[in-house]
Amino acid sequence: MPSTCSPKPSPARPTRTRANLVGVGAHLAKQAPDFDARNYGFARLSDLVAASGLVDMESTGDHPKIIMVKLKAAPAPK
């Protein structure tokens, strides 16, 4: 019987580095149901994420618009 578990990351199979912002929003809703970007002055989660400066964003498509996010690399220690 084949395994249904995902394989462990390896140098030949790197971990996923980008995430669909829809999935990030869904995860946020499960972890913090009272979270709302409007409480921080932004109409949409994508606006809040862009303003944070923590991620690189890549938009593709028009209908529906797909936004992929990737955490920016941490600055090198001094």
pLDDT digits (tens, 9 = 90+) for 7-57: 455 555 556 689 999 999 999 999 999 999 999 999 999 999 999 999 999
CA separation, residue 2 to residues 5, 7, 10, 35, 74 (Å): 9, 12, 20, 39, 38
CA angle (66, 16, 69) in 5-degree steps: 35
User: Can the peptide bond before residue 64 be classed as cis, meaning omega within 30 degrees of 0?
Assistant: yes
pLDDT score for 73: 83
CATH topology of domain 19-71: Nucleotidyltransferase; domain 5 (3.30.420)
What residues contact residue 1 under an 8 Å CB cut-off, 6+ apart?
none
pTM above 0.85, yes or no: no
Sequential DSSP letters for 10-21:
BTTBPPP--EEH
